[in-house]
């Protein structure tokens, strides 16, 4: 489960410019029907590569198509149960993995610094599994977490140590987009498990955009240029299913504008919760993963920790 590699190796593609039918930011569509994801393959690491002391890590299967990496602070106690962060990685819906080094390190750092149980979701990627698979898989993961609310779920760590009345859902870039969609669904139909509640949502450098042709290609069942998954609808924003939202923006991020617009439209929607915004000056998209020792990256993790514990 944690020793696979995502995306197809460049060595399996040998084509010329004339063989390309369509070009997108993250992949080329070839005339013979193959899709070449341009990012280098993601090499995954086992849970034992967790770089954070005092955090236990393991991988679990949620379904045949969904898995997760769980992070448990070693100080966890059955007498003082911990909130849960369901984390959804980014990567343009077609790259990256919850099991790679950067995401393993990030979620383990957050688990340690925020004293929270991390559940990092491994969802299906385009083109192997076209959208909306990533949304469906992430919803299945959230339902799986919530199913432990009576202490009778499939995972002992969550049964024994998690406070399912304090679930947080968050992600970066595409993962932030998915997080919004999940919380709009929670606000519409609920979680379906007594005692389970999403308390907050954390969006890091969110990926939204009207008339995004790449996203529409990845999602054959899209609803057009204003699909609410990419262009959040007012009614979805108004019913976001939690009381608090934290949006993190990076000044030099190409997605800064759509992230800022999201916060403005959330305020105007009539949503009754509390919105917090953190902006990192002079920083680019998702800088905090590779530059995890950067003072601003450390500040992001501290802000997430304070948000989870409602300290600011």
**What is the per-residue pLDDT across 211-228, written as a single tens digit (0 to 9) for each?**
999 999 999 999 999 999
Backbone angles phi, psi at 45, to 5 degrees: -120, 150
Strand 244-250: give its sheet, edge to edge.
Answer: 55-61, 67-73, 117-122, 82-88, 162-172, 198-204, 244-250, 274-280
Check whether 13 has a pLDDT greater than 90.
no
Q: How large is the average pLDDT for residues 67-73?
A: 98
CA angle 54, 59, 65 (to 5 degrees): 155
**Tokens describing residue 11:** 């060595």
- pLDDT band (50, 70, 90) for residue 2: very low
CA atoms within 13 A on the CB side of 24: 20
**Tokens describing residue 20:** 């390309």
- pLDDT band (50, 70, 90) for residue 11: low
Element (H, E) at 165: strand 162-172
Question: What are the angstrom distances between the C-alpha of 39 and each of 88, 102, 134, 173?
Answer: 19, 15, 18, 16
Q: How far apart are CA 140 and CA 177, in angstroms?
A: 16
* CA 186, chain centre distance (Å): 16
* CA 307, chain centre distance (Å): 17
pLDDT of residue 4: 34
Q: How far apart are CA 93 and CA 133, in angstroms?
A: 10
High-pLDDT (> 90) share of the chain, %: 91
118 in Cβ contact with 108 (< 8 Å): yes
Q: How large is the average pLDDT for residues 248-266?
A: 98
173-200 tens-digit pLDDT = 999 999 999 999 999 999 999 999 999 9
Catalogue the active-site residues.
Answer: 173, 253, 285
- pLDDT band (50, 70, 90) for residue 42: confident
**Tokens describing residue 271:** 């949503």
User: Max CA-CA distance within the chain?
Assistant: 64
Alpha helices in 210-294 (DSSP H): 213-218, 234-238, 256-268, 287-290
pLDDT of residue 52: 83
Burial degree of 109 (CB within 10 A; 0-12, 13-18, 19+): buried
Q: How large is the average pLDDT for residues 143-149?
A: 98
State the pTM of this model.
0.96
Check whether 141 has a pLDDT greater than 60.
yes
pLDDT of residue 3: 33
Q: What do you get for the CA distance between the two ends of the chain, in Å?
A: 38
């Amino acid at each position: 489960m944690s020793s696979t590699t995502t995306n197809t190796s460049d060595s399996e593609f040998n084509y010329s410019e004339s063989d390309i039918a369509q070009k997108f930011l993250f992949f080329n569509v070839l005339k013979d029907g193959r899709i070449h994801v341009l990012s280098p393959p993601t090499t995954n690491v086992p849970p034992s590569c967790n770089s954070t002391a005092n955090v236990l890590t393991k991988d679990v299967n949620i379904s045949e198509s969904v898995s997760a990496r769980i992070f448990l602070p070693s100080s966890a106690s059955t007498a003082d149960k911990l909130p849960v962060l369901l984390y959804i990685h980014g990567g343009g819906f077609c790259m990256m993995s919850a099991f790679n080094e950067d995401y393993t390190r990030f979620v383990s750092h957050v688990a340690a610094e925020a004293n929270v149980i991390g559940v990092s979701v491994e969802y299906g990627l385009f083109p192997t599994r076209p959208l909306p698979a990533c949304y469906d898989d992430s919803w299945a993961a959230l339902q799986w977490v919530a199913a432990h609310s009576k202490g009778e779920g499939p995972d002992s760590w969550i049964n024994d140590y998690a406070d399912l009345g304090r679930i947080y859902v968050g992600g970066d870039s595409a993962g932030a987009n998915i997080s919004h969609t999940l919380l709009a669904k929670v606000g519409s139909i609920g979680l379906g498990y007594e005692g389970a509640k999403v308390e907050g949502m954390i969006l890091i450098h969110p990926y939204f955009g009207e008339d995004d042709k790449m996203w529409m290609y990845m999602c054959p069942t899209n609803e057009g240029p204003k699909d609410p998954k990419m262009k959040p609808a007012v009614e979805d924003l108004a019913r976001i299913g939690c009381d608090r939202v934290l949006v993190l923006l990076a000044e030099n991020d190409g997605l800064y504008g759509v992230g800022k617009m999201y916060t403005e439209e959330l305020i105007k929607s009539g949503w009754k919760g509390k919105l917090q915004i953190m902006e990192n000056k002079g920083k680019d998209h998702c800088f905090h993963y590779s530059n995890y020792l950067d003072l601003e990256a450390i500040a992001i993790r501290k802000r997430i920790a304070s948000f989870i514990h409602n300290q600011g």
